[in-house]
Amino acid sequence: MPTINQDEINNVAWRACDTFRGTLDPSDYKNYILVMLFLKYVSDVIKDHRATYLLEFKGDEARVARRLSRERFLLPARCDFDSLYARRNDADIGQQINIALEQIEEANKAKLEGVFREVDFNSEGKLGQTKERNTRIKGLLEVFADPRLDLRPSTIGDEDVIGNVYEYLLERFASDAGKKAGEFYTPGQVSTLLARLLKPKKGDTICDPTCGSGSLLIKVGRQADKRDFALFGQESNGTTHALCRMNMFLHGMDSFRIEWGDTLRNPRLIEGDRLMKFDIVVSNPPFSLDQWGIDEAEADPFHRYHRGLPPKGKGDYAFITHMIETAREKIGRIGVVVPHGVLFRGAAEGRIRQKLIQENLLEAVIGLPANLFFGTGIPAAILLFNKGKTHGDILFVDASREFEDAKNQNRLTEAHLDKIVATYTAFQTVDKYAYRATAQEIADNDYNLNIPRYVDTFEEEAEIDLKAVKKEIARIERELVTVRQKMDGYLKELGL
């Protein structure tokens, strides 16, 4: 049984952020914290395994070294956390950490090449001049040396603990990072909702073409099976791409492929001259991305835009189109988070939307509450497409009015998620909440998917009893006369 709990580990890790608060923006200092967490975890794992092997092989160092060389992760000598912590007072500790990270990358090239490229522990620009920089790095090492942050498997017991603390930190960073947060993190309850709606199964291949830190991908995979699935993703931001690969490793994922690059301009998940196909494609792409790459799209070698080109200043349907083209024929399922404009905007977007509906690909439209996502207060919707759809109807769900009103951000509780998933699974009209629309009804509405056109949420106000209201007004007026008389008496006593 674990001797420490998740909350203790989370709190210690979060305290490490005090090292940088007031010096760096959360979008910058998160990289230092998460890299140090990664280093501490792999160091503790290797330390734990080494102790086990020493017992097993009765102190035979050669046999221990051979066994450690077959671990899923290799840690070169003097590159572990304890060795760096022992040198925390050295004048060049920042550079020593950089060298250790470079050696770790080199030893694990297939999994970690380039993962630490964006993090410089010797950066004067970010961490200050030598004295200040060394003080901050020493403080960071000392926080991570806290005995409560013992991440050895024999101590924490549950291997998900380290993945959970990584997720905890990502969400806290996202909360602090404002608009930048949407670049790397989808709120946990939204990821869980998408995972449950898409119903992944054992053996599925799952792709997120704008994967950010990979949290959404991992949630969908875990919904399928503990291990039997393969994850694929692409991320355009180099720093976030590195976070994603670390996230995969810390969650114990081995079957993954995360590419770096612009999915629309330069898709990297390809086989020969074709786009790879997946059982599930899921994404929370940037809303209404400007300059998404329409010039390159006109000559797209993968013919993704055969339904038409999205407008230059709004890339929503570019991402949707890419996702549909990368889903397996006849069985592929797609879940995508979109701004509401995608449901009703006309011109090029309207024409693409009409073709997608006429091809009988769209299965459900689910409206979410406002202020649910980091960095934007606007309400969003989930579109579910299904290449194996066997009927012509579309389910509309208005889940926008049911949420937990948190301090800075609204949240979907487990009960809210259960209701949405149950409604989608039943695929039937629910008064004031959901409507199953026929293909003809959609056509009659000119292929406009605006949810209020289908789900009537109007609540009649209770009838007003005019006699009772009149009686109440008369009572209040009598009380007012009495109060005024008392007030006049008080004023006379005061000579006013």
Residue with tokens 């380039």: 114
Task: Say what percent of the chain tops pLDDT 70.
Answer: 93
pLDDT band at 410 (very low <50, low <70, confident <90, very high): confident
Asked whether the predicted pLDDT for residue 179 surpasses 60, the reply is: no
Tokens for 443, please give them: 């056509």
| pLDDT higher than 50, residue 476 | yes
Look over the chain and give the mean of its residue pLDDT values, rounded to a whole number.
89
Listed range (75-84, 113-122, 162-171, 349-358) with the worst mean pLDDT? 162-171
Share of the chain above pLDDT 90, in %: 61
Mean pLDDT of 286-293: 92
Has residue 241 got a pLDDT over 50?
yes
**pLDDT class for 371, splitting at 50, 70, 90?**
confident
User: What mean pLDDT do residues 453-462 have?
Assistant: 76
Q: Cα–Cα distance between 348 and 339 in angstroms, integer? A: 16
Q: In this structure, which amino acid lies at residue 277? A: K
Instruction: Identify which has the larger pLDDT, 38 or 173.
Output: 38
Is it the case that residue 460 has pLDDT exceeding 50? yes
- pLDDT higher than threshold 70 for residue 176: no
Q: What is the mean pLDDT of residues 38-45?
A: 91
Alpha helices in 182-302, H assignment, sequence order: 188-198, 215-224, 238-250, 294-297
In the predicted model, what is the mean pLDDT of residues 434-446? 97
Q: Where do the domains of the chain lie?
A: 6-158, 180-453, 465-496
If one counts every other C-beta atom within 10 angstroms of the C-beta of residue 396, the result is: 24
- pLDDT(252) > 60: yes
**Which has the higher per-residue pLDDT, 138 or 118?**
138
**pLDDT at residue 1, rounded to an integer:** 41
Q: Which residues pair with 336 in a beta bridge?
A: 283, 383
Q: What is the pLDDT of residue 375?
A: 64
pLDDT higher than 80, residue 255 = yes
pLDDT at 461 over 80: no
Q: pTM for the full model?
A: 0.85
For residue 295, pLDDT beyond 80: yes
Superfamily of domain 6-158: N6 adenine-specific DNA methyltransferase, N-terminal domain (1.20.1260.30)
pLDDT-based confidence at residue 362 (cuts at 50, 70, 90): very high
Mean pLDDT over 159-171 rounds to 74
Task: Tell me the pLDDT band of 156, cut-offs 50, 70 and 90.
Answer: low
Q: Is the pLDDT of residue 21 over 80?
A: no
pLDDT higher than threshold 90 for residue 431: yes
Which pLDDT does position 2 carry in this prediction?
47
- Could you write out the DSSP letters of every residue in 371-427? S-BTTB-S-EEEEEEETT--SS-EEEEE-TT--EE-SSSEE--HHHHHHHHHHHHHT
pLDDT of residue 155: 67
b/e per residue, 30-66, with b = 16+ CB within 10 A? bbbbbbbbbbbbbbbbbbbbbeebeeeeeeeeeebee
- More confident site: 10 or 408: 10
Over residues 395-422, the mean pLDDT reads 91
Across residues 281-287, what is the average pLDDT?
95
| pLDDT per residue as tens digits for the range 46-64 | 999 999 999 999 999 999 9
The mean pLDDT of 373-394, rounded to a whole number, is: 90
Average pLDDT (79-103) is 97
DSSP type of residue 256: E
pLDDT at 171 (0 to 100): 77
- pLDDT score recorded for residue 181: 46
The pLDDT of 351-367, averaged and rounded, is 98
The answer to which of 156-160, 178-182, 346-350, 398-402 has the lowest mean pLDDT is 178-182
CA nearest neighbour of 170 among 181, 179, 178, 180? 181
Domain 180-453: which CATH class? alpha beta
